[in-house]
Chains A and B, each alone.
Chain A
Amino acid sequence: MNLLNRRSMLKAAGTSAAASNMAAVELLSQPAMADELARSGKNVILLWLAGGASQLETWDPKPGRPTGGPFAKIQTSLPGVEISELLPKMSTRLDETAIIRSLNTKIADHGQGYFLMDRGRRAEPGIEYPHLGAILAHELGQIDSKVPDYVSMYTSTEGRRQGSAGFLGARYNPMFLTDKMIPEDIQLPESISDTDHRDRAALRKTLSQRFAQRMNHAGVGSHENAYERVRGLMASDYLFDIDREPTAMRDAYGPTQFGQQCLVARRLVEAGVPFVKVARAWWDSHGQNFETHRELCADLDHCMSTLLDDLKQRGMLETTLVITLGEFGRTPKINGSLGRDHFANAWSCTLSGCGIRGGTVFGKTDADGQTVTEGEMNAGDLFATIFSALGISPDKEYMVGSRPIPISDFGSEPCSEVLS
């Protein structure tokens, strides 16, 4: 819908809406909502390549060109599809994966690029947009979930931003793991026995009930909802404990932190956590791009392929979408320090599993990788594609005050070619 049509439509519909002052986004306390939320059984793992991975050393190699760098390309199991030799394991595992080579997101600054690829739209003063994890926790999670509905692992300090659930509300903020492999405050403190901890919670509830009932207020309700979830979340602490996995499985994921976090991610989605983000830093290779990518791509290749194998073997890949994405790609031009700089005009990402037409390569860049020549997509289009893959209508709207906000940015379109 073009802007003018949209506006006149809003104008016709909107005046009365503005006057009626609809307050919240959606009311948490409505039981009907909870029923609707219990529906999906779909999950997402986002492998976040923080700092911006090079498309030329991963999914869109250009060997032999001035921009190509020293690495070769290898034939994948898909006829006619070649990727960088730095991803040998992934080259044989593209059956459930779609490669998108035509992202043009324009913003090549870490802060704003992160914002854009985290929220699928640019920042706008006066409104706080939620990030992908919060949207998907909201869309795919259950209101009274016994497990976390949004876990974000970001151990490195470089580029770490917690983000916010914005207008969706703090209910959808992530459990944010920065130091340890397990969320803060999820384990029973030594100073209290499990029985006393449980009884204490019951006493709290007794002392709260009358107030909560008489006040009959959504905010007070969210307080009680948060405390109701505490014991359940504490009981999910084992999900973060990879020692409970067989040795063979731990060995398969390997000893790197990224590998271990991918294993935690798989354990979480298996238990019903709708959205898990695992950040791997720091791809920002302004100098020594090739050494950096030799090391990081090996980790990515191993962990991503193990994760996909594991999900597939467990029959979970059909309901789990794995997204491999960063804030931007890197310049085709190789700078004086053998580095590649920030570049957002023609870069790549992948989508695997749930709702994705595997074995697809979508979009093209020119011979040197400077521009997109076919199938250009922006951040909004990518988000619309992600929502569609998960069965969420990309046209869905949230009401924020009196203003309708589409779940994916105005004017964005899902890419049907990569959807199954």
Chain B
Amino acid sequence: MRSPIFLSFALSVLLNAAARTEASDPQTLADRIDHHINERLRAEGVSPAAIVADETFLRRVTLDLAGRIPTTTERTNFLSQKEDEANSQVRRRGLVEKLIHSPDYAYHTRNQLDILLLLRSEHNATWREYLLEATNENRGWDQMFREIFQPEDTLSGDVRPVSYLKKQLNDLDALTNGASVKWLGVNIACAKCHDHPLVDDWTQDHYYGMTSFFKRTFRTKKGFLSERFEGLPKYTDIYGDEQQPGLMFLTGQKVDIPPLEIDEPALKKLQEAIKKSEQDDKSDPPPRPDFRPRSEFVELALRDEKNRFFAKNLVNRTWARLFGRGLVHPLDQLHSQNPASHPELLEELASGVVESGYDVRHLTQAIVLSKAYARAGNDTETQACPPDLFAVSVPRPLAPRQLSLSLRIAGQNPVKLQEKSDPDSWSVEREKLEKGSEAIAKKLLIPNDGFQIPVTEALWFSNNLSLQNDLLRPSNDRLVGYLKKLEADDEVVSAAFASVLSRTPDAAEKSAIQQYFAERGDRREEALKQVVWALLATPEFRFNH
């Protein structure tokens, strides 16, 4: 049975692939970003913070694209390129191009998606495998959306993306709101019990209209995803009247439900099959209806010609990941009463991302090539400007994996790491690092808006033996072991700063650490561990800035 939906899906894959080959130069798009951002800065009379130096840019963009700090090898390679042959902008372009096509990018994007979609709550490894495969081939966001919301329809019969729906199936409200918040940038939960009190866009009809798309989806006892032939949510409005909005999307667009063309006995049989599949753990999934509300949801989201939600949400979330706040902020408040800081930019990026076949990598690359992305964060004058001007960079707390991977990289002997820096060895090493960073990542919280570092994290850093005995071990494979063999304090300090903070120390920092060493002449190894610890526990390491 091949439905029209299937055909339109196959067609859109082809079209997207064609569109993507013609994707515009990311630098052109980056310049458009700066055009819009600068236009508003000029209008507000604000001069933005300066562009950061190369070593700051390297750390920032490596954390954002590779999900980890740069190795000292990467740092040396980047900084030692000849100034005369290419200006800084060209060098940065080369760096970005390399990073964004590296396996690190796929891993990092996978980790970010896992947090966005399931808050890393799925312990079945196939879910993360699926995401990694998709990010590796830079699969279009629309295609992932289809695979995740219609896992029954995927070309390959891939069942791995089913985790997303299965995890939320027992709670229709959570499923509806998750679909709206994460995929469409809209939070309609407030409209469950009454029309949204603050936002005219969202009525109770919108809420129940959206739940209608998922109401029929259920999980069979054997673990398959299935959809019923009937069922629509009703609600009682504040006047006590019963309402049933039917299938209604956020745009207000409704879908007519075709009449069920089966006779009474056949329907009864179907219902029995469904009931059996819900109760019997050996029972196969019941037949699928021709009309499936969940597929209608996917079609409506993708067919929204004004790109009001699906594409804008993708742009806005990608932007927020790289700037610490969205063009629309908060990220789940994409509605008429909360306009974007740069509406034209958002429109342009949204239509661009649709044209590119929902190419997240291309969008990401353009954003990090913009001057807006490369602004300094320590400009005290600009810090006072409204944050939605993007005149100054804002420090962003590292996600659990970013931090734990960075700890592992910083703690390693840089020479040993260098030996693994050719692309083939690095792919293997990265997979090892992913595994090796899991335990620490689990201990760390996922940062939310306005994130605060919990004291338990500071206690863990300060006193937990796994940090002391593993990362700070004075053995040959660790940074402390490497520093032990260096003679001059000056050299030690520079090497430690390069490994941990990816920068050169200044005179005051050098002298503070030299004094620390001097007071510990009798226990040099201990002193080395303590200095490395002190650097790892700085906010400069904890944040991307």
Contacts and interface: CB of A to CB of B under 8 A. Distances in A.
A64 to B, nearest CB: 42
A191 B465 contact: yes
B56 to A, nearest CB: 12
B264 interface: no
A267 B449 CA distance: 35
A18 B337 contact: yes
B189 interface: yes
A67 interface: no
B534 A207 contact: yes
Interface string A371-406: 000000000000000000000000000000111000
Contacts of B465: 189, 191
A222 B397 CA distance: 11
A1 interface: no
B526 to A, nearest CB: 7
A58 B194 CA distance: 40
A233 B459 CA distance: 9
Contacts of B380: 214, 216
Contact of A15 (B337, B516, B526): B337
Given A21-B338, A192-B526, A208-B540, A403 B455 contact: no
A220 to B, nearest CB: 5
A15 to B, nearest CB: 6
A278 B400 CA distance: 30
Interface stretch (A49-57, A180-188, A318-326, A332-340): A180-188
Given A124-B189, A126-B189, A216-B380, A21 B512 contact: no
B183 to A, nearest CB: 14
Select the residue from B174, B339, B539 with max chain A CB neighbours within 10 A: B539
A173 B513 CA distance: 34
Contacts of B516: 199, 203
Contacts of B192: 124
Interface stretch (A34-42, A224-232, A283-291): A224-232
Interface stretch (A3-11, A80-88, A345-353): A3-11
A211 B195 CA distance: 46
A189 B458 CA distance: 14
A200 interface: yes
B539 A169 contact: no
A170 B459 CA distance: 14
B511 to A, nearest CB: 11
Contact of A185 (B171, B199, B463): B463
B338 A200 contact: no
A223 B539 contact: yes
B509 A207 contact: yes
B11 interface: no
Interface in B430-478: 445, 448-460, 462-465, 468-469
B535 interface: yes
Nearest to A27: B450
B204 to A, nearest CB: 12
A66 interface: no
A219 B198 contact: no
Contacts of A227: 458, 462, 537
B452 A222 contact: yes
B459 A185 contact: yes
A175 interface: yes
B542 interface: yes
Contacts of A242: none
Contacts of A208: 538-540
Interface residues of A, number: 67
A34 to B, nearest CB: 14
A28 B452 CA distance: 9
Contacts of A201: 462
Contact of A200 (B181, B512, B530): B530
Contact of B451 (A196, A200, A207, A219): A219
B468 A229 contact: no
Select the residue from B181, B460, B463, B542 with max chain A CB neighbours within 10 A: B463
A125 B538 contact: no
A23 B458 contact: no
Nearest to A232: B455
B355 to A, nearest CB: 30
Interface stretch (B277-285, B325-333, B405-413): B325-333
Nearest to B449: A23
Select the residue from B174, B388, B453 with max chain A CB neighbours within 10 A: B453
A127 interface: yes
B337 A207 contact: no
A186 B459 contact: yes
B102 to A, nearest CB: 28
A72 interface: no
A309 B539 CA distance: 46
Nearest to B463: A185
Contact of A203 (B190, B452, B458, B513): B513
B178 interface: yes
Nearest to B447: A219
Given A15-B198, A171-B452, A125 B178 contact: yes
Nearest to A168: B452
B27 interface: no
Select the residue from A175, A206, A220 with max chain B CB neighbours within 10 A: A220
B455 A230 contact: yes
A4 to B, nearest CB: 7
Contacts of B456: 173, 175, 184-185
Contacts of A183: 459
B452 A10 contact: no
B245 interface: no
Nearest to A21: B329
Contacts of B397: 219
B338 A217 contact: no
Interface in B170-206: 171, 173-174, 176-178, 181, 187, 189-190, 192-195, 197-199
A191 B543 CA distance: 28
Contact of A204 (B171, B450, B537, B543): B537
B88 interface: no
Interface string B298-331: 0000000000000000000000000000000110
A219 B380 CA distance: 16
Nearest to B393: A215
A218 interface: yes
Interface string B375-392: 001101001000010000
A6 B526 CA distance: 62
A169 to B, nearest CB: 4
B394 interface: yes
A158 B300 CA distance: 44
A192 B468 contact: yes
Contact of B463 (A3, A124, A188): A188
Given A19-B337, A125-B176, A229-B455, A24 B450 contact: yes
Interface string B192-236: 111101110000000000000000000000000000000000000
A223 B330 contact: no
A170 B460 CA distance: 15
A243 to B, nearest CB: 21
Contacts of B452: 28, 169-171, 218-219, 222, 226
The 4 closest A-B pairs by CB, nearest first: A125-B177, A214-B378, A24-B450, A222-B452
Interface of B: 171, 173-174, 176-178, 181, 187, 189-190, 192-195, 197-199, 238, 329-330, 332-333, 337-339, 377-378, 380, 383, 388, 394-397, 445, 448-460, 462-465, 468-469, 509, 512-513, 516, 519-520, 526, 530-531, 533-535, 537-540, 542-543, 545
25 contacts: A7-B195, A21-B329, A21-B330, A23-B449, A23-B450, A125-B171, A125-B177, A126-B177, A126-B332, A148-B455, A170-B445, A185-B456, A185-B462, A188-B463, A189-B465, A189-B468, A196-B526, A204-B537, A214-B378, A214-B380, A215-B543, A225-B453, A226-B454, A226-B457, A401-B330
Given A214-B380, A216-B380, 16 more contacts: A10-B198, A14-B197, A18-B198, A18-B199, A23-B449, A23-B450, A124-B189, A169-B451, A171-B455, A191-B468, A203-B516, A206-B512, A215-B539, A219-B395, A219-B397, A229-B455
